[in-house]
Amino acid sequence: MKKIASTSHLWVLISGRNSRHGLWLLPLLMAVIVAAWMAMRSSTFVGSQNISNLIAQAAPLILASLGQLMVVLIGGLDLSVGAVISLTTSILVIDAPWFVVVPGVFVIAALIGLVNGLVIARLNVHPIIATLSMTSLVQGAALLLRPVAGGTPPALVSEMVNATPFGVSMPFLWVVASVICAWKLVHQSRFGLHLFAVGGGPAVARFHGIAVERVTVSAYVLSSTFAAAAGVFLAGRIASGDPQIGSLFAIESITAVALGGVQLAGGVGSVSSAVTGAVFLALLANGMNLENLSAFIQTVIKGSILLAVVAMQPRKNIGL
Amino acid sequence: MVTDKAPSLFNRVARMPPAYIVFLVLVVALWMTRPQLMNPNILGTFIRQVAPLGILVLAQLLVMNARSIDLSVGGVILLVNYMISSGGMDDMSLPMIAACALGVGLAVGLFNGLMVGKRRVSAVVVTLAVSVVLSGIVEYLANGKPPGNVPQTLRDLYEARPFNVPAPIVFWTILSIGVAALLKRLVFGRWISSIGENPVAAHYAGVPVQRTVILAHTIAGLMAAVAGLVQTASIAVGSVRFGPELVMNSIAATILGGVIFGKGSGGVLGPFVGVLCFSLLFVLMTALGVQEHGKLVAQGAIILLAAIVYGVRTSKS
């Protein structure tokens, strides 16, 4: 432990150590730098058209990352978000009216989260094993339902993403609404406080009378539900169903929260840090697209960033 | 659940790795539905196909016994496969090819080990990220089109049948015995089990925790490269798509075999039988006409069930 480090306010701000929100200067700074660099390279970047495009590109990742945040705060990990997103888009394009499929996907996602949470909290299975096997189950179901991309979601779903009520773009409203939801949950409610407590130490949380199991299950249900929202958004945006569309979302949402300073060991993080991480990733993707980098190289770069970031987050335990 | 008054036989059965029971059930199921498949030659061919998975499981059980996990094995296999099939190594001799592949596995394994052991990063995140990076590199190099063919020498080795047993099975068995000896007879094996039991206690008892974790990951990387060699020989062509399900299956078979993050009792034989279960499962599902996506669902369900059964049991004891 560095004594000096813990007393300097500037150091706390830069490193994010010793703070419960976890947000540190580096991701913010990197996001600003990427944005500035892109504004210089392309004159259309700051235009309202591109900004709203950018928000639409970032929205699904922001949604998924907010869900991932809930689980990471309690020291868990949800690898099934990507599969849930894929399944959601696949369900939305079955020929059924919107008032069946839209609530339907949320119910199914909540059920998936419920199973994840119960298996982890009550049956004592490691989160990684539980969500990894759930990934293959859900991914298989998505592929059974829709082997290749195609179909059209109900008109309302596309409308919900592409409309511009009162001149405000819909994706912007999605982001604002979900961030407010998550912020209320994490920072303004008893449940949020319990998330931090469980992440800090489940045993101690239990001694203080917190229903650890219920908090854990709720976190996984929320994570899946946020993923379903991301899936609805994506289905509306691409106006079809794709059983593979979510395949990178597990790793990207983990990257986003880790990048924002959320400690994967649990107990440290905030909505603002998750959003910062997601926005940075989206900006980076936008910039790399602008530079015409191959999608595969983009994956390599994102993976390397995740490695670099987690290498800067020292933990106590070795292993998982 | 298991109570104190339950007969000891039931206790003993309940404590066995799930793989043994699943294996028996599958054998009976196969025998009932497709008796004509119960023929040593046919089964040998089927089991030969899971030899890469079996070798991968050896890697997985090493790290999982030390409370870690390796999700990057799929990436290593992809890279090894690409190196061999892209044509750059056609005029190399077999030992050279093997050495290059092992070098890649060693490097990736060492990197994982250093990140997990020294930097103390979550093994899931590190190995997942490494896997993404590796497969991204391979897909970029391959540029969408599948790579070329595999050197004939590797093919011939795969097709060989010493004493009428397919060579990959012999190879897999020898490696399994090697790993079993490593875990049971060497001090290193004891270190791994003590870390699996309790890393903190192991540290205070003088076990070099860091070094052991790094070494376990390095060996796992090597094993993944070996699995990549066998896999490449078995499919005979290059491919940019087979990593993910192999990784899933390797974890699944290891859990089925009773090894789960240090708390396990399955040794090497349990996961070995776990792999055989997967072989039979593939045969059975193919025979019953289950499609590719249905297999994915079935696999997920099986892992989840095995983990639940095991999780419940370990929490009771």
Residue type, B70: D
pLDDT value at A200 more than 90: no
* Angle made by CA atoms B79, B85, B88, in degrees to the nearest 5: 95
pLDDT of residue A5: 41
Position A3 confidence tier, pLDDT thresholds 50, 70, 90? very low
pLDDT of residue B97: 83
Position A160 confidence tier, pLDDT thresholds 50, 70, 90? confident
Which tens digit of pLDDT belongs to each residue from B16-43? 777 888 888 888 888 888 777 777 777 8
Which tens digit of pLDDT belongs to each residue from A234-258? 998 888 888 888 888 888 898 888 8
A145 found inside a domain: yes
Report the first-to-last Cα separation within chain A, whole angstroms: 23
pLDDT value at A79 more than 70: yes
Binary contact (A311, B119; C-beta < 8 A): yes
A32 found inside a domain: no
Greatest mean pLDDT among A277-286, B51-60, B245-254 lies in B51-60
Q: Is residue A180 a contact partner of residue A66, using CB atoms and an 8 Å limit?
A: no
Of residues A34 and B10, more confidence is placed in A34
pLDDT of residue B95: 81
A14 found inside a domain: no
Q: Of A138, A300, A316, which has the smallest distance from its Cβ to B136's Cβ?
A: A300
Shortest Cα distance, chain A CAs vs residue B157, angstroms: 33
pLDDT of residue B249: 83
Q: What percent of chain B has pLDDT over 90?
A: 18
CATH code of the domain containing A252: 1.10.3470
A237 found inside a domain: yes
- Find chain B residues with C-beta within 8 A of A139's C-beta: 296, 300
Entry field: residues in chain A: 320
pLDDT value at B144 more than 80: no
- Find chain A residues with C-beta within 8 A of B137's C-beta: 296, 300
Buried b (16+ CB within 10 A) or exposed e, B275-303: bbbbbbbbbbbeeeeeeebbbbbbbbebb
Mean pLDDT of chain B: 82
Nearest residue in A to B139, CA atom: A296
A40 found inside a domain: no
pLDDT value at B9 more than 70: no
Quote the crossing angle between the two packed helices A249-260 and A271-290, to the nearest 10°: 120
Position B262 confidence tier, pLDDT thresholds 50, 70, 90? low
Of residues A42 and B125, more confidence is placed in B125
pLDDT value at B265 more than 60: no
Position A7 confidence tier, pLDDT thresholds 50, 70, 90? very low
Q: Of A123, A147, A318, which has the smallest distance from its Cβ to B120's Cβ?
A: A318
Dihedral sign computed on CA atoms, order B149, B150, B151, B155: negative
Q: Which of B173, B220, B216, B214 is nearest to B76 (CA)?
A: B220
Dihedral sign computed on CA atoms, order A202, A203, A205, A211: positive
State mean pLDDT over B276-287.
83
pLDDT value at B124 more than 60: yes
State whether residue B217 is helix, strand or coil: helix
Position B156 confidence tier, pLDDT thresholds 50, 70, 90? confident
pLDDT of residue B174: 92
**Domain of residue A203, residue span:** 48-311
Shortest Cα distance, chain A CAs vs residue B189, angstroms: 17
What residues form DSSP beta bridges with A192? none
Q: What percent of chain A has pLDDT over 90?
A: 33
pLDDT of residue B242: 64
- Find chain A residues with C-beta within 8 A of B129's C-beta: 251, 255, 303-304, 306-307, 310
pLDDT value at A265 more than 60: yes
A187 found inside a domain: yes
Q: How many domains in chain A?
A: 1
Of residues B130 and A36, more confidence is placed in B130
pLDDT value at B7 more than 60: no
- Find chain B residues with C-beta within 8 A of A319's C-beta: 66-68, 116, 123, 195, 199, 213, 261
d(CA B69, CA B105): 16
pLDDT value at A219 more than 90: yes
Q: Which of A213, A174, A193, A151 is nearest to A64 (CA)?
A: A174
A170 found inside a domain: yes
A2 found inside a domain: no
Which tens digit of pLDDT belongs to each residue from B216-254? 999 999 999 999 888 888 876 666 566 667 887 888 888
State mean pLDDT over A165-181.
86
pLDDT of residue B214: 94
Q: What percent of chain A has pLDDT over 70?
A: 90
State mean pLDDT over A50-64.
88
What residues form DSSP beta bridges with B149? B237
Which B residues, 165 through 184, put their C-beta within 8 Å of a C-beta on chain A?
none
d(CA A147, CA A152): 14
Residue A308 burial (10 A CB sphere; 0-12, 13-18, 19+): exposed
Q: Of B124, B136, B307, which has the smallest distance from its Cβ to A130's Cβ?
A: B307
| CB-based contact, B106 to chain A, within 8 Å | no
Least confidently predicted of A121-135, A158-172, B85-99, B266-280: B85-99
Binary contact (A140, B293; C-beta < 8 A): yes
Of residues A34 and A105, more confidence is placed in A105
Q: What percent of chain B has pLDDT over 70?
A: 85
Which B residues, 7 through 36, put their C-beta within 8 Å of a C-beta on chain A?
none
Position B2 confidence tier, pLDDT thresholds 50, 70, 90? very low
pLDDT of residue B130: 92
pLDDT value at B176 more than 90: yes
State mean pLDDT over B124-143.
86
Q: Hey, how many other C-beta atoms are within 10 angstroms of the C-beta on B204?
A: 10
pLDDT of residue A2: 41
Shortest Cα distance, chain B CAs vs residue A311, angstroms: 6
pLDDT of residue A4: 42
Binary contact (A318, B210; C-beta < 8 A): yes
Mean pLDDT of chain A: 84
Which tens digit of pLDDT belongs to each residue from A307-317? 887 787 666 66
